[in-house]
């Protein structure tokens, strides 16, 4: 266990183990007989007790005893007899716990008995004292103590004092620290007497945890509690709208004219209608600082002549089934230009006027927010609202992209119009001098600690503190450049070398910080924009490509700042997942080549991007692993149940088992891709290409070759 090799059994130990197994099999055979025949007399219950004393993990035996107790209770009316019956259950549980004090079934059964209301709560506290003296870190014991304390109506203040005593006796008691965080959360949230102001209480907790950290820097218990304290210090329980598409004040031109030159001299940013306006209409996207639910026509008001507010259907942009998401989207229908004398439409969006929008942390979005934008409709042929799709192939070679100082200088004003994250200017932050001073004091302490010992947990905590201080200092200025970014990036690089076992986590944090740095303001973001010179059939804004390639990114973030992106290059990175890309609803061209994507399941976010036309996933690791573990490990897995949506017929002309590629077809079947590159993966074979062509009629280019 925990990396320690098992010691071989001695001959006498092996013989005893075999003898115990034989007895257990015999008892199990007898038990299943009485269980199936619903025999609940004393001899039968004694038999199940012997079985549980030998192996407390047989959950069926615990359920059998519940059935037996319920059956025997029906014939009892005397309270003493009932108590005697239930006391026997408590005795059986105690015997089982002596064999394995971490048995879930035993602890659950004891809770079930106590809920009957005939047992002594004081006796349970005495029993818990014995258990916690034997093992003060017994998480099951602490969980049961919270249960018993709630039954007895023991105050949180009294239980908090108990955790203080246990922590002072042993700083390494992780369970006591955890229980303390639970109790303090309750007390702080209800502003109990003696726990106000919040800042005073947290300051005292910092002093307490410092004693543990500086006594034994290598023990993790106190560090986890310090992380909880940091979360309480920095995170404001406020749900805010932090980004949208279209952005506030934007005048957006929709046109079906492919030849019209609307370059940077155009007064309005222009987009080709066919690129991202489909049958549903123009996407309207809201992005919150936390995952939320409750976004609908009653919580979000849209005033527009394009669509009645009550007709709008809001959908979460997420691949999970929780119904919560950072980003939400609806479609504004485009009016019939032939019957509309108005070519410019102003849309006003407001929210925060009700408490219907609530985050996963239970916080309501009640800060009033309003933004507006204008749609300018310019159609040469009002009879034809749809333009033909582009037949050009995107070539992602470096020589096809150009940039210059003059280009960046001209493009920055346009970037500023697209990237206005100012919709919460009226929000007043609750950050105070105490927050800044506390973080600065913590940073000074851990710099001092690291000067004496080279502790990886202290280094990780310092990185978190520096990031937190930057967040606090820039509160209210979302795009402000952070001052400690360079130092934190170096800390994560050091941690990758010090602790290779957890290098994936450090690389992800490094990537997120790098993404924050790149997207922090218009000037830094503009440096990553290039002009794709080969694309001629679309309006020129589409040619602006955000190139985040060759940055060693293992994770992407801060996509709320990129909702308007249409061409994105993420090639030559270390991406395993593309979670979050589903928010980029205007994305047309996407390059994910030369990454570490291991399966089609990881591409599920792309199913939600209706505008996507060109996708390059070449030279990844798709198909290398016979078992797709991403389905079980990713936060947004592709459920097996969705396979029922995929109806694909076998093709006699295609020598390939369709069942082997149902995930790929399920991902791609509803997409309108015109170009797909899959070369360099384990699934790279001619038969699979033929299958894709047959199932995806929109495809014009596969791996650089024109579809015949």
Q: Convert the pLDDT of each residue in 167-204 to its tens digit.
A: 999 899 999 999 999 999 999 989 999 999 999 999 99
Do residues 115 and 102 make contact, with C-beta atoms less than 8 angstroms apart?
no
CA dist., res. 241 & res. 645, Å (int): 34
Residues 206 and 199: their CA atoms lie apart, in Å, by 11
- Would you state the pLDDT for residue 422? 54
What pLDDT is stored for residue 259 in this prediction? 43
Q: How far is CA 175 from CA 130, 335, 458, in A?
A: 16, 61, 21
DSSP string covering 231-256, please? HHHH------EEEEESPTT-EEEEE-
Sheet holding 544-547, edge to edge: 401-402, 529-532, 544-547, 567-569, 589-591, 614-616, 675-677, 701-702, 705-706
Model confidence pLDDT, tens digit, residues 99-139? 888 899 999 999 999 999 999 999 999 888 888 888 887 88
CA atoms within 13 A on the CB side of 114: 21
Averaged pLDDT, 325-345: 77
- Which range (156-160, 305-309, 352-356, 384-388) has the least confidence? 384-388
- Average pLDDT of the chain is 84
pLDDT in tens, 83-98: 999 999 999 999 999 8
* pLDDT tens, position by position, 555-564: 999 999 999 8
First to last CA, the chain: 58
Q: What is the pLDDT of residue 426?
A: 55
| CA 415, chain centre distance (Å) | 29
The whole-number average pLDDT for the span 684-698 is 88
CA proximity to 328, closest of 356, 300, 355: 300
| E strand or H helix at 99 | helix 79-99
pTM of the entire predicted model: 0.84
Residue 19 pLDDT grade (very low, low, confident, very high; cuts 50, 70, 90): confident
Question: Lowest mean pLDDT: which of 276-280, 394-398, 538-542?
Answer: 538-542
Backbone angles phi, psi at 589, to 5 degrees: -120, 125
Average pLDDT over residues 358-386: 76
Lowest-pLDDT range, 341-345, 460-464, 549-553, 604-608?
341-345
d(CA 637, CA 2): 28
pLDDT for 423-447, tens place per residue?
555 555 667 889 999 999 999 999 9
Residue 640, pLDDT score: 42
Q: What is the 3-state secondary structure (H, E, C) of 458-508?
A: HHHHHHHHHHHHHHHHCCCCCCCCCCCHHHHHHHHHHHHHHCHHHHHHHHH
Tell me the two tokens of residue 205: 């907790």
Pair type for strands 344-351 and 358-359: unpaired
Among candidate residues 552, 619, 561, 631, the one with its CA nearest the CA of residue 591: 619
Q: Can you say whether the dihedral through the CA atoms of 443, 444, 445, 448 is positive or negative?
A: positive
Which residue do the tokens 């059956």 mark?
Answer: 71
pLDDT at 300: 96
pLDDT band, residue 342 (cuts 50/70/90): low
pLDDT given for residue 418 in this prediction? 66
**Pairwise pLDDT comparison (44 vs 624), residue with the higher score:** 44
* CA-closest candidate to residue 161, choices 148, 169, 150, 222: 169
Task: Tell me what percent of the residues of the chain surpass a pLDDT of 70.
Answer: 82
Say which residue the tokens 């409750």 belong to. Answer: 294
**pLDDT given at position 545:** 92
Query: Residue 409 above 50 pLDDT?
Result: yes
User: 203-233 pLDDT, tens per residue?
Assistant: 999 999 999 999 989 888 999 999 999 999 9
Average pLDDT (601-617) is 93
Q: Coil, strand or helix: which one is 545?
A: strand
CA atoms within 13 A on the CB side of 236: 16
Q: Which residues contact 663 (CB under 8 A, 6 or more apart)?
A: 599, 600, 601, 628, 638
Q: 55-64, 68-77, 263-272, 535-544: which range is least confident on average?
A: 263-272
**Mean pLDDT over residues 412-418, rounded?**
68
Instruction: Flag whether pLDDT at 343 surpasses 80.
Output: no
- The domains located in the chain, with CATH, are 241-391 (no CATH), 433-475+480-511 (no CATH), 515-706 (3.80.10.10)
Dihedral-angle region of residue 294 (phi above 0 means left; psi in -120 to 50 means alpha; beta otherwise): left
Joined together, the tokens standing for residue 462 give: 């310092």
pLDDT score at 520: 85
At 82, phi and psi to the nearest 5? -65, -45
Q: Which of 169-173, 528-532, 580-584: highest mean pLDDT?
A: 580-584
* C-alpha count within 13 angstroms, C-beta hemisphere, residue 112: 15
- Supply the pLDDT for residue 384: 47
Confidence bin at 253 (pLDDT 50/70/90): confident
Strands 369-378, 344-351: pairing kind:
antiparallel
pLDDT of amino acid 657: 59
67, 69, 85, 116 from 75: Cα distances, Å: 14, 10, 12, 16
């Amino acid at each position: 266990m925990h990396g320690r090799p098992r010691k071989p059994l001695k001959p006498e130990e092996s013989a005893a183990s075999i003898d115990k197994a034989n007895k257990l099999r015999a008892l199990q055979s007898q038990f299943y007989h009485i269980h199936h025949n619903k025999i609940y007399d004393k001899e039968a219950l004694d038999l199940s007790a012997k079985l549980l004393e030998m192996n407390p993990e047989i959950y069926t035996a615990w359920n059998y005893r519940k059935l037996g107790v319920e059956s025997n209770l029906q014939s009892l009316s005397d309270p003493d007899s009932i108590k005697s019956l239930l006391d026997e259950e408590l005795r059986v549980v105690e015997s089982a716990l002596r064999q394995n004090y971490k048995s879930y079934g035993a602890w659950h059964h004891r809770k079930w008995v106590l809920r009957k209301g005939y047992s002594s709560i004081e006796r349970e506290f005495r029993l818990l004292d014995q258990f916690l003296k034997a093992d003060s870190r017994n998480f099951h014991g602490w969980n049961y103590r919270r249960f018993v304390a709630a039954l007895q109506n023991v105050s949180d203040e009294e239980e908090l004092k108990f955790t203080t005593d246990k922590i002072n006796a042993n700083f390494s008691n992780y369970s006591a620290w955890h229980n303390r965080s639970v109790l303090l959360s309750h007390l702080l949230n209800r502003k109990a007497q003696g726990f106000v102001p919040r800042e005073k209480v947290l300051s005292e907790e910092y002093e307490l945890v410092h004693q543990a950290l500086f006594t034994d820097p290598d023990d993790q218990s106190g560090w986890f509690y310090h992380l909880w304290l940091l979360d309480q210090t920095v995170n404001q329980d406020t749900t805010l709208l932090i980004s949208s598409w279209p952005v506030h004040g934007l005048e957006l031109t929709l046109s079906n004219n492919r030849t019209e030159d609307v370059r940077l001299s155009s007064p309005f940013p222009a987009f080709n209608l066919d690129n991202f306006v489909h049958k549903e209409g123009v996407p309207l996207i809201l992005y919150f600082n936390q995952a939320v639910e409750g976004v609908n026509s009653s919580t979000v008001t849209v005033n527009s002549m394009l669509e009645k507010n009550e007709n709008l259907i809001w959908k979460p942009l997420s691949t999970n089934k929780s119904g919560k998401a950072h980003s939400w989207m609806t479609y504004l229908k485009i009016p019939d230009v032939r019957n509309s004398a108005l070519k410019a439409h102003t849309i006003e969006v407001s929210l925060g006027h009700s408490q219907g929008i609530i985050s996963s942390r239970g916080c309501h979005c009640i800060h009033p927010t309003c933004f507006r934008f204008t749609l300018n409709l310019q159609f040469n042929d009002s009879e034809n609202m749809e333009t033909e799709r582009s037949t050009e192939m995107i070539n992602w070679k470096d020589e096809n992209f150009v940039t210059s100082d003059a280009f960046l200088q001209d493009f920055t004003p346009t970037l500023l119009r697209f990237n206005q994250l100012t919709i919460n200017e009226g929000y007043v932050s609750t950050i105070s001098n105490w927050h800044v001073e506390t973080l600065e004091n913590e940073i000074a302490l851990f710099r001092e600690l690291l000067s004496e010992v080279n502790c990886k947990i202290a280094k990780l905590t310092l990185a978190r503190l520096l990031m937190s201080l930057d967040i606090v200092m820039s509160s209210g200025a979302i795009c402000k450049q952070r001052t400690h970014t360079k130092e934190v990036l170096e800390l994560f690089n050091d941690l990758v070398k010090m602790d290779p076992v957890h290098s994936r986590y450090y690389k992800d944090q490094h990537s997120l910080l790098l993404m924050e740095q790149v997207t922090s303001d218009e000037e830094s973001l503009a440096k990553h924009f290039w002009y794709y010179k080969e694309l001629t059939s679309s309006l020129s804004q589409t040619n602006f490509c955000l190139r985040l390639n060759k940055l060693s990114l293992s994770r992407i973030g801060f996509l709320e700042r990129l909702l308007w992106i249409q061409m994105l290059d993420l090639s030559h990175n270390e991406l395993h997942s593309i979670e979050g890309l589903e928010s980029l609803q205007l994305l047309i061209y996407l390059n994910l080549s030369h990454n570490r994507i291991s399966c089609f399941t990881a591409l599920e976010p792309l199913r939600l991007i209706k505008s996507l036309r060109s996708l390059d996933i070449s030279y990844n690791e798709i198909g290398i692993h016979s078992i797709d573990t991403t389905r079980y490990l990713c936060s947004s897995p592709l459920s097996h149940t969705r396979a029922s949506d995929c109806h694909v017929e076998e093709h006699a002309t295609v020598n390939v088992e369709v069942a082997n590629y149902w995930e790929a077809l399920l991902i791609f079947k509803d997409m309108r891709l015109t170009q797909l590159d899959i070369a360099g993966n384990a699934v790279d074979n001619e038969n699979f290409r033929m299958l894709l062509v047959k199932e995806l009629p929109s495809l014009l280019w596969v791996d650089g070759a024109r579809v015949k």
